[in-house]
Amino acid sequence: MTARRDIEAITERIRQRSKAGRERYLGRIAEASNQTANRSVLSCGNLAHGFAVCSPSEKLALGADKVPNLGIITSYNDMLSAHQPFETFPALIKEAAREAGGIAQVAGGVPAMCDGVTQGQPGMELSLFSRDVIAMSAAVGLSHNMFDAAVFLGVCDKIVPGLVIAALTFGHLPAVFIPAGPMTTGLPNDEKAKVRQLYAEGKAGRAELLEAESKSYHGPGTCTFYGTANSNQMLMEIMGLHTPGASFVNPGTPLRDALTREATKRALAITALGNAYTPVGRMIDERSIVNGVVGLHATGGSTNHTIHLIAMAAAAGIALTWQDISDLSEAVPLLARVYPNGLADVNHFHAAGGLGFLIRELLDEGVLHEDVQTVWGEGLRPYAVEAKLGADGSVVREASPQASGDEKVLAPFSKAFQPTGGLKVLAGNLGHAVIKTSAVKPERRLIEAPAKVFDSQQGLNDAFKAGTLTGDFIAVIRFQGPKANGMPELHKLTTVLGILQDRGQRVALVTDGRMSGASGKVPAAIHVTPEAVEDGPIARIHDGDIIRLDADAGTLEVLVPGTEFALRRTAEADLIGNEFGFGRELFAGFRQLVGRADHGASAFGTA
């Protein structure tokens, strides 16, 4: 009962803080609702352009506002495994819409970049900004005002948050998110990680490394570890933007296609022309956002969502803070062990009972808001199910199993892996930071050691190759924040620090950059705010300064006398190399406009 009271109190705190912004937002979407399902506001020339390629019967229906029209926003490309399955979805959606008496048109496409491809490359400096570009691209597609609802095809890291921001910006429209699912299980993630370490130590060659990576990332669908992409899918389901049980069904299966057809028909049913009008801006409220945070903690999800959830909430006029996220962590236990928080992958999680089991456990203990609205209707309880394929090819749902199929992967509430969530916010004289505790052993969550300071991840890797990373230390990697260079993910650090930790050294990381859901067993205080380029305290750390990182206490301190530390000059870095090449010159405006990590690292401002 204490957890339930805490959840209610934090939700009410968010509601009160957001009251003015939420009222303004709801007023805007109410005004926009007056034009929904009303293509008569378009001139004849407007309409002629909008349905030029439609059939004569579709033109008649659209011109008379007789049938609902779905706008499809797609992130399809055929280079990236997670998005390639979307190639066939528009045709499937159009067919399902016709069967249900509606129409569907591809309203627009959005870019979908892969952090796996750009990892450690210059293109990674566009990754975070791509979220806002995706939101704007989707807005361009929906701005034609031809649509009664939108369906969003997106899966991976920045794509789903960007699409959610767009959906909430067009909050007068119903919105249904349709996933493509994870790839089937390949080489286990821990075995792949071992080969990476051997390669970093010079004990394996490039051919061996490429073979391991290719066996791990081997087909259509999201990567199977529990990073940002699969955390996205969890969020869309627990926030009610997916149909129940849709998140973790593999691509190219009959059930996956049946779920897509069903989602299409549901999107038509919740338009203003149907009987269950559900504008997404009213549907997603403070309770929905809190449910998303609860799910993130209970599953040990991606640290990227400490940024994205704030930006997503802001698009609905809701002011979520890191403190809210941190306080919710204290009320929510960790119920899932999915790599890097364990050895299982997301397919094992799904087979053990998946989100249906997890949602039921959380609902039964009162740590999820049940009284929410979803694309499926009233209440979250209908999501405590498992989706299966019926004999006639349609989707049928069964109650989620009462017992976990594997308690090493998915635990009941009574046997939680730890009493608190997988993420924690740190505070101290270095500002604020985020740490993912679920992957770090308890005995490694406190470290006090001298700093080794670098201005890039390459600097640390060079020091590793030179053999100078000896003894216990805390690596400080700065000038990696949103304004400095777009806040790239720093996965090149994971392998090196993991090797040193395995050798018996006590090591940790402090950075104003990102590490995402793939951050692993080394304690990492990331997203340090204010960032170095904004004269944040991280820019005043010297080599040899003693830093104390205490994940359990939630503190991050440099142990230097306050007066001395305050009088130090802030370091400067030559960032000219981040400003050109691979399109980075086009994003100079984003680097100037972007807000702090704890404000959502957005160019759009805050709620």
* Binding region for [4Fe-4S] cluster: 156, 223
Query: Residue 259 is inside which H or E element, if any?
Result: helix 254-269
Q: Annotated binding site, which residues?
A: 156, 223
Taking Cα atoms as reference points, which of 135, 125, 113 lies closest to residue 311?
Answer: 135
Structure tokens at 607: 């709620």
Phi-psi region of 10 (alpha: psi -120 to 50; beta: other; left: phi over 0): alpha
What letter does residue 157 receive in the DSSP assignment?
Answer: T
Residues 6+ apart with CB under 8 A from 202: none
Phi, psi values for residue 108, rounded to 5°: 175, 165
Taking Cα atoms as reference points, which of 58, 48, 130 lies closest to residue 97?
Answer: 58
Structure tokens at 190: 């821990």
Alpha-carbon gap, residue 485 to 125, rounded angstroms: 6
Residues 6+ apart with CB under 8 A from 574: none
Q: How many CB atoms lie within 10 A of CB 496?
A: 22
Burial class (CB in 10 A: 0-12, 13-18, 19+), 215: middle
CA angle 283, 285, 288 (to 5 degrees): 90
Q: For the chain, what's the residue count? A: 607
| CA–CA distances in Å: residue 324 to residues 15, 423, 455, 552, 588 | 11, 12, 31, 17, 32
Alpha-carbon gap, residue 229 to 489, rounded angstroms: 14
- Can you name the residues that pair with 476 across neighbouring β-strands? 453, 510
What letter does residue 214 receive in the DSSP assignment?
Answer: H
Instruction: Answer for the pair 22, 287: CB distance below 8 angstroms, yes or no.
Output: no
DSSP helix/strand/coil, 434:
strand
